[in-house]
């Protein structure tokens, strides 16, 4: 599906950069247009793939290019002040081919946390196409300020979008991803999952490989719905040498090799698809949640055409229907001629039982109460400290 993407703040910009890299190296073409918005000059300078003219510095008159110091109210002001410039930058390359908008931000900081809901709201007012959010939740050990910012921002982001797809940094860290190299591994994981989802609906790039079972953008849009939260599962497997399509197989036939097809039997392909679907659903989700609270789901199976089959995809859909106890499960494939892996992506949309968000809100409320108490004590103690008896 063709997206116009706006990355707001540091995390928003860095993840946008990785999605552009993913799109360029795989030639998938799902990024129609990309704009990075930030109040910090150094963050914009650090981007590698967003073209210079699509990097917008906002709030110079307020923070002079130095960022918001993790203050979402300042972030919101910086973005509001430049909303018409952001609008023009997005509008410059938005065409009738744009299927949807995606606004990306880390919800625990300042610029993205305060600014992303404002950008999403404005795009929703101007365009008829859906506006989605990709929100990054802070890990629990980042502390109270980040939790408060994220809890407030999430509420506003959900209200301003058709769906917020969430990625929990804390869950990724506990699953063994490292923060070394400034989130490099985590951002790679984000680009793989969301790049797979959005490129799956971009069927123009597939040429002759389009089969009737292929997922198109309307299926993604119907799965994401009108409002709510989404979590994504993913699993992939390298195909054994004998089953890979492309150059190797052709060459061996060229050299007088076996005339038999080199691919595994359809039974193997079916089993592989169903076992990957289980791993994707039951393994690490971008937002850990109770799977049976899903409102709508989608399974996308990608890989070389010979490793995909209708039977496997149907079995995967049935299994997901039973596991999520949800009847609105769509399924399809995304054939990629040159791939040597089969991957399954599972979209759990409209999830409502999310313990992480309850903890986030609790952490936010505790931190708010503690900050108020501390402020009151500090005022009192400062008065005691400065007052003295003149006698
Ligand atoms: P902003 O520039 O003021 O919007 O602040 P940031 O984008 O730095 O947002 C802060 C939050 O985003 C932090 O609490 C982190 O949880 C998260 N974060 C920052 N950078 C990255 C990144 O590169 N990747 C990911 N996954 N999360 C990030």
* Residue ranges making up the domain that contains 54: 3-199
Task: Judge whether 169 lies within some domain.
Answer: yes
Closest-CA residue, ligand 1 atom 20, reads 11
Q: Residue 142: CB within 6 Å of ligand 1? A: yes
Label each residue of the chain as H, E or C.
Answer: CCEEEEEEHHHHHHHHHHHHHHHHHHCCCCEEEEEEEECEHHHHHCCCCCCHHHEEECCHHHHCCECCCCCHHHHHHHHHHCHHHHHHHHHHCCCCCCCEEEEEEECCCCHHHHHHHHHHHHHHHHCCCCEEEEEEECCHHHCHHHHHHHHHHHHHHHHHCCEEEEEEHHHHHHCCCCCHHHHHHHHHHHHHHHHHHHHHCCHHHHHHHCCCCECCHHHHHHHHCCCCEEEEEEEEEECCHHHCCCHHHHHHHHCCCCCCCCCCCHHHHHHHHHHHHHHHHHCCECCCCCHHHCCEEEEEEEECHHHCCHHHHHHHHHHHHHHHCCCCEEEEEEECCCCCEEEEEEEEECCCCCHHHHHHHHHHHHHHHHHHHHHHHHHHHHHHHHCCCCC
Torsion from C-alpha of 101, 357, 295, 237, nearest 10 degrees: 80
Q: Minimum mean pLDDT among 123-132, 291-300, 367-376: which range?
A: 367-376
CATH code for the domain in which residue 59 is found: 3.40.50.1440
Closest-CA residue, ligand 1 atom 16, reads 138
- Tell me the CA–centroid distance for residue 302 and ligand 1, in Å: 30
Task: Judge whether 260 lies within some domain.
Answer: yes
- Tell me the CA–centroid distance for residue 17 and ligand 1, in Å: 14
Q: Hey, which residues does 333 pair with through a beta bridge?
A: 214, 301
Whether residues 143 and 222 share a domain: the answer is no
Q: Residue 115: CB within 6 Å of ligand 1? A: no
Tell me the CB-side half-sphere exposure of residue 345, using CA atoms within 13 A.
28
* Alpha carbon 26 to chain centroid, angstroms: 18
Q: How many domains does the chain have?
A: 2
Task: Judge whether 181 lies within some domain.
Answer: yes
Task: Judge whether 32 lies within some domain.
Answer: yes
pLDDT band at 261 (very low <50, low <70, confident <90, very high): very low
Whether residues 156 and 214 share a domain: the answer is no
Whether residues 62 and 170 share a domain: the answer is yes
Q: Which atom of ligand 1 is nearest to the CA of 182?
A: 23
User: Which among 4, 194, 234, 206 is positioned nearest to 96, based on CA atoms?
Assistant: 4
Q: Quick one: average pLDDT of 258-264?
A: 43
Does 253 score more than 70 pLDDT?
Answer: no
Does 220 score more than 50 pLDDT?
Answer: yes
Whether residues 180 and 211 share a domain: the answer is no
Whether residues 250 and 191 share a domain: the answer is no
pLDDT band at 260 (very low <50, low <70, confident <90, very high): very low
Q: Write down the pLDDT at residue 94.
A: 77
CATH code for the domain in which residue 249 is found: 3.30.1330.20
Q: Quick one: average pLDDT of 104-117?
A: 98
- Tell me the CA–centroid distance for residue 295 and ligand 1, in Å: 29
Does 256 score more than 50 pLDDT?
Answer: no
Q: What is the pTM of this model?
A: 0.91
Cα angle: 299, vertex 301, 307; to 5 degrees: 150
Q: Write down the pLDDT at residue 240.
A: 87
Q: Residue 112: CB within 6 Å of ligand 1? A: yes
Q: Which atom of ligand 1 is nearest to the CA of 70?
A: 3
Task: Judge whether 374 lies within some domain.
Answer: no
Q: Minimum mean pLDDT among 14-23, 269-278, 372-381: which range?
A: 372-381
Does 257 score more than 60 pLDDT?
Answer: no
Query: For 328-342, what is each residue's pLDDT tens digit?
Result: 999 999 988 888 999
Task: Judge whether 357 lies within some domain.
Answer: no
Burial of 75 (0-12, 13-18, 19+ CB in 10 A): buried
Closest-CA residue, ligand 1 atom 10, reads 109
Domain final residue pick, 199, 234, 251: 199
Whether residues 39 and 158 share a domain: the answer is yes
Domain final residue pick, 199, 215, 245: 199
- Contact between 64 and 186 under an 8 Å Cβ cutoff? The reply is no
Domain final residue pick, 166, 199, 232: 199
What is the pairing mode between strands 131-137 and 55-57?
A: unpaired
In which residue are the tokens 């650090």 written? 46
Give the whole-angstrom CA distance, residue 299 versus residue 274. Answer: 11
Whether residues 184 and 244 share a domain: the answer is no
Whether residues 315 and 246 share a domain: the answer is yes
Q: Write down the pLDDT at residue 6.
A: 98
Q: Cα separations (Å) of 43 from 8, 16, 38, 56, 57?
A: 11, 12, 7, 11, 10
Whether residues 99 and 238 share a domain: the answer is no
User: pLDDT exceeding 70 applies to what percent of the chain?
Assistant: 90
Residues marked as binding for GTP?
Answer: 10-14, 110-112, 142, 169, 187
Give the whole-angstrom CA distance, residue 369 versus residue 377. Answer: 12
- Contact between 181 and 300 under an 8 Å Cβ cutoff? The reply is no
Closest-CA residue, ligand 1 atom 12, reads 106
Whether residues 341 and 227 share a domain: the answer is yes
Whether residues 175 and 256 share a domain: the answer is no
- Contact between 90 and 123 under an 8 Å Cβ cutoff? The reply is yes
Query: For 274-311, what is each residue's pLDDT tens digit?
Result: 999 999 999 999 999 999 999 999 999 999 998 999 99
Whether residues 117 and 163 share a domain: the answer is yes
Task: Judge whether 157 lies within some domain.
Answer: yes
């Amino acid at each position: 599906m063709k997206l116009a993407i706006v990355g707001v703040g540091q995390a928003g910009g860095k993840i946008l950069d990785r999605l552009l890299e993913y799109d360029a190296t795989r030639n998938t073409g799902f990024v129609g247009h990309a704009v990075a918005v930030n109040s910090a000059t150094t963050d914009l300078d650090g981007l590698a793939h967003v073209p210079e003219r699509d990097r917008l510095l906002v709030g110079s008159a307020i923070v002079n290019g130095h960022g918001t110091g993790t203050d979402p109210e300042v972030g919101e002001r910086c973005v509001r002040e430049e909303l018409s410039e952001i609008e023009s930058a997005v509008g410059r390359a938005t065409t009738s081919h744009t299927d949807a908008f995606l606004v990306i931000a880390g919800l625990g900081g300042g610029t993205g946390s305060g600014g992303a809901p404002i950008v999403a709201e404005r795009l929703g007012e101007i365009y008829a196409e859906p506006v989605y959010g990709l929100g990054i939740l802070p890990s629990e050990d980042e502390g109270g300020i980040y939790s408060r910012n994220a809890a407030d921002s999430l509420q506003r982001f959900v209200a301003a979008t058709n769906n917020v797809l969430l990625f929990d940094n804390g869950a990724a860290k506990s699953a063994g991803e490292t923060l070394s190299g400034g989130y490099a591994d985590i951002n790679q994981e984000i680009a793989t999952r969301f790049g797979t989802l959005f490129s799956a609906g971009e069927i123009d790039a597939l040429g002759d490989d389009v089969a009737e079972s292929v997922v198109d953008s309307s299926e993604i849009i119907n799965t994401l719905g009108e409002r709510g939260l989404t979590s994504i599962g993913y699993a992939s497997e390298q195909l054994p040498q004998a089953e890979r399509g492309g150059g190797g197989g052709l060459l061996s036939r060229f050299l007088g090799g076996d005339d038999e097809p080199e691919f595994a039997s359809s039974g193997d392909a079916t089993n592989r698809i169903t076992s990957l679907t289980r791993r994707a659903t039951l393994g690490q989700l971008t937002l850990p949640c109770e799977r049976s609270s899903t409102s709508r789901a989608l399974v996308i199976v990608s890989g070389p055409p010979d490793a995909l089959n209708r039977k496997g995809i149907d079995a995967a859909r049935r299994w997901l229907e039973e596991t999520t106890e949800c009847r609105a499960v769509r399924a399809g494939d995304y054939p990629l001629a040159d791939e040597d892996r089969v991957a399954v992506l599972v979209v759990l949309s409209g999830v409502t039982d999310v313990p992480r968000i309850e903890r986030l809100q609790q952490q936010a409320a505790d931190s708010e109460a503690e900050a108020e108490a501390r402020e009151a004590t500090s005022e009192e103690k400062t008065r005691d400290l400065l007052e003295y008896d003149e006698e």
